[in-house]
Structure 1
Amino acid sequence: MSQSAAQSELRLVVLGRSGAGKRSAVSTILSLQDTPQGTEAAAIQECSKHRGEAAGRQVVVVSSPAWFGSGCDPEERRRHISSFISLSSPGAHAFLLCVPVNQPADEEAKALDVLKELLGPSSVSMHTIVLFTHTEELEEGEQLEEYLITWRKDLQELVGTCGDRYHTLETRSGDPAEGKAVEELLEKVEQVVRESGTQHFSCPLYQEAEDRVRERQLELVRQTKDSEDDVTEEEIEAVREEAERSVGDLNVDVDSIFPCSSVSAAPSFLGGLWEKLTGWIKWLPRVMRREALLGALVGLFVGGPIGGIMGATVGSVATEVGRRKTQKTK
C-alpha cells in the first residue's frame, strides 16, 4: 500500500465483547458472506483484517477479540492489542464499539476506560463510534433513539463518552436500507476525521507499530535481494500485510492498565443475572417483556419478600400501562 493509498482508505477497528455482533458488523460493512456459525469461535480468538469497497470508498476493517474482558490473561492481552494496532497502522480513522442493546453497559464502559488508558483520551472522545447491535430486541416500530432516552440511561452515558456518536447497521426493511446504513456510517467516520483535524488517529503505540512494520518490510524484501540498492517502494509495499502480521508484541504496559482486582467479579455476576432475567422473559409477548423485566429488576435489587412484592406490583402496573398504550394506538 503506497502512502497515497494509505491516506485515501478508511481504516476501522471493530471492538466489543464476545457475542456483541462484531462478525456481522464486518460482513455488513464490506458486503461479505457471513462465515458459518461453526467457525465463529475460532475466528474471534485472533484479530482479523479485511479490505474491500463500501459505498464507493476503499475500506479496511480490523476486528479484535475482547482483550479488555476479565477472562483474558496478560500475554493474550498484549498479543491482541499489538495485533489490532499493527493491522490498522499507521492509525485507525475510527473505533467502532459494538454494544448489544439487550445487555447492561458495564463491560463496554470498562472497555472505553481501558481504551483511554491504552491510546489516550482522544481515542474515545474524538474517534470512537458506538455501534448498537441486537436491535431486533426493540419493540416493533420502536426507534432506537426513543429506546435509549426512555429506558437506557447507561447506554446514553456510553454514547456521551464517545462525543454523542452512535449508529446501527441493523435494519428491518431489507438490503437497500442496509446499504444506506453502511453509507451513513462511513459518512460519520469521515466527519470524525474532519473534526479531529488529522489524517487519522495516532499515538505512541501506533507510531511504534508503524516503525516496526516499515522495518520488517525492508527485512522481508532484503531477503530476496542481493543489493539494498535494488529495493523499490513497490516491492516494500507488496509485503506490507505480511510485515503487519509478523510484528512482535508492542511496548504495552498491561500490568498497569489491567491491575488484578477481586472487584472485577461483580460486573460479571450482575451480567449473569441480567442474562438469566432476559432469557426467561423472551418467551413473553413483546408488549410485556420490558415491563416484566422492570419488575424483575426491582425485585432483584430490593431483595427479600418486600422486593418480591414491589417487583410484582411494578411489573403489573407497567404491563397494564403498556397494554392500554397499545390499545389506544390501534
Structure 2
Amino acid sequence: MSASASHPELRLVLLGRTGSGKTSAVSTILGLQDTQQQDTQQQDTQEGPEAAAVTQGCSKHRGEAAGRQVVVVSSPAWFDSDCDPTERRRHISSFISLSSPGPHAFLLCVPVNQPADGESKALDVLTELFGPSAVGTHTIILFTHTEELEEDERLEDYLVTWRKDLGELVERCGDRYHTLETRGGGEAERKAVEELLEKVEQAVAESGTQHFSCPLYQEAEERVRERQVEVARQRRGEEDSPPEDDVTEEEMEAAREEAERSVDDLDVDVDGIFPSASVSPPSFLWGLWEKLTCWTKWLPSFVRREALLGALVGLFVGGPFGGMMGATVGSVATEVKRRNTQKTK
C-alpha cells in the first residue's frame, strides 16, 4: 500500500508569526488564488477545493494536492507575547478543533531573513502545550522569504554558513525542513508541494501513529462528535437528541464543519504556559536587526550580507574603534566575495 493510500486525508496545521508567509503557503499547497480574501469571510459550507471555514481568526481549507486530499488549518500567531490571554485560548481551541482528531504535521513558517528567537519560543510553547513529540516528531520547519538568498545560494548552505540559529530550529524538529518557494515556476512549485507531503507522510510513518494526538486533541474530538449529534438533531427538527447510532454517516459528515467551529473553549492551561500576560517590548537585538536589514535592502544583493556583517561588528564593539573594525570587516568580506565570484566566471 502506498503512503498516500494509507493516509486518504492529510491534515496540516500552519503556524507562524504575522507576515511569515502562511497565506502564501496555503495558496501554494492547495493551488488557491484568493486565500487571503477567503480568510476574512465566514463560509458555512465546504463546496469545492477553494472553500474555507473561518473561526476565531483560524481558517480551514480543503482541497487536493499531489493526488492527495489535504486539509490545511492556518492559525494566528497566538504564541506572541502581546496576544490577549482570552484571544489566545480561543485561537488555540479553534485550531485544535478544526484539525481534530489530530494533524499529521505542524508546519512552522520561518522567514530566513529574520532572527529565530520568536520561532524558538513557538517550539517551546508547542512542547508545553502538546508534549515533546509534537515538536520532535510531528513538526516540519517551512522556510519562507527565501528570495533574500543569493540566486546561486542553496538553502542548506545558507543555514550552515550564516544562520546557525535557524539550524537549531531544524535540529529540534528532527532535522525536518522544507521550502515551497522556487525559482522554476509552476512545475517546480508542484514538485515542491509533492515533496513536502512526502516528508509529512514519512514523519507519520516514523512516528508509528496514524496522526498526532494528545489529551487536548482527544478532548476536542470528543466535544466535536457530541456537537455533531446535536447539530444533526437540530437539522432533523427533533427535540430529543437521538443516539449516535441513529445518526447516519452522511448526517454526521454534514454536521462536522459546524461542530468544529463551535468548539472554542477547550481546557487549555494558558496561564501555566504563558505566566506573564503583560506586553513585552521587542528586544534590543531585534530592534537592531530590523533597522540593519531595512537599511541594507537598498544595497545590491552582492554586498548586502557583507555590509550587514560589518555593521553588526561596529554596533557590538562600539566607539570609534568599533566603527573602524566594522568597516574593515565589511570591506574584507565584500572583497573576498567579489574575488570568489570572479574565479567562478
Report the TM-score range of the alignment, normalised by the length of the smaller protein. over 0.9
Q: How does 1:284-295 map to 2 (within 5 A)?
A: 284-295=299-310
Q: Which moved more, 1:229-238 or 1:8-17?
A: 229-238
TM-aligned CA distance change 1:187 to 1:281, over 3 Å: same
CA contact (8 A) 1:47 1:80 kept: yes
Q: Quote how far apart the aligned CAs of 1:249 are.
A: 1.0
SS of equivalent to 2:213: coil
- d(CA) in 2 for partners of 1:61 and 1:73? 25
Of residues 294, 297, 319 in structure 1, which corresponds to 2:334? 319
Q: Which moved more, 1:209-218 or 1:292-301?
A: 292-301
- d(CA) in 1 for partners of 2:317 and 2:58? 42
- d(CA) in 2 for partners of 1:246 and 1:22? 24
Aligned to 1:81: 92
TM-aligned CA distance change 1:157 to 1:44, over 3 Å: farther
- d(CA) in 2 for partners of 1:40 and 1:278? 31
**2:130 is the alignment partner of 1:123:** no
SS of equivalent to 1:223: helix
Aligned amino acid, residue 307 of structure 1: G
- d(CA) in 1 for partners of 2:165 and 2:9? 34
Q: Quote how far apart the aligned CAs of 1:287 are.
A: 1.1
Question: Pairwise CA RMSD of aligned residues?
Answer: 2.3
Count residues with an aligned counterpart. 325
Aligned to 1:26: 26
SS of equivalent to 2:298: coil
- d(CA) in 2 for partners of 1:127 and 1:6? 17
Aligned to 1:58: 69
**2:274 is the alignment partner of 1:258:** yes
Q: Quote how far apart the aligned CAs of 1:325 are.
A: 1.0
Q: How far does the alpha carbon of each residue in 1:281-321 deviate from its partner, in whole angstroms, 9 at most, with x for none?
A: 01111110000011111122222322222211111111111
Q: How does 1:165-184 map to 2 (within 5 A)?
A: 165-184=176-195
Aligned to 2:11: 11
- d(CA) in 2 for partners of 1:32 and 1:305? 53
> TM-score with structure 2 length normalisation?
0.89
- d(CA) in 2 for partners of 1:296 and 1:164? 31
Q: Quote how far apart the aligned CAs of 1:263 are.
A: 10
SS of equivalent to 1:250: coil
SS of equivalent to 1:70: coil
Q: How far does the alpha carbon of each residue in 1:102-136 deviate from its partner, in whole angstroms, 9 at most, with x for none?
A: 00100000000000000101000000000000000
> TM-score with structure 1 length normalisation?
0.93
Q: How far does the alpha carbon of each residue in 1:165-192 deviate from its partner, in whole angstroms, 9 at most, with x for none?
A: 0000000011100000000000000001
- d(CA) in 2 for partners of 1:101 and 1:160? 16
Larger proportion of helix:
1
Q: How far does the alpha carbon of each residue in 1:123-172 deviate from its partner, in whole angstroms, 9 at most, with x for none?
A: 00000000000000001111000111111100110100000000000000
Q: How far does the alpha carbon of each residue in 1:35-55 deviate from its partner, in whole angstroms, 9 at most, with x for none?
A: 468987998970000000000
**2:265 is the alignment partner of 1:249:** yes
